[in-house]
Structure 1
Amino acid sequence: MENDADCYMEVSAGGGDALRTKKLALILGDQR
Structure 2
Amino acid sequence: MSFMKEYILFVVIIFSGLFGAEKKALTEIMTNET
Name the TM-score class by shorter chain: 0.5 to 0.7
- Unaligned 5+ segments in structure 2 are 1-8, 29-34
Rg larger in structure:
2
TM-score, length-normalised on structure 1? Answer: 0.52
Q: Indicate the residue corresponding to 2:21 in structure 1.
A: 25
TM-score, length-normalised on structure 2? Answer: 0.49
- Please, what is the CA RMSD of the aligned residues? 0.9
Q: Which has the higher helix share?
A: 2
Choose between structure 1 and 2 for higher RCO, CA contacts under 8 A separated by at least 6 residues: 1
Number of aligned positions between the proteins = 18
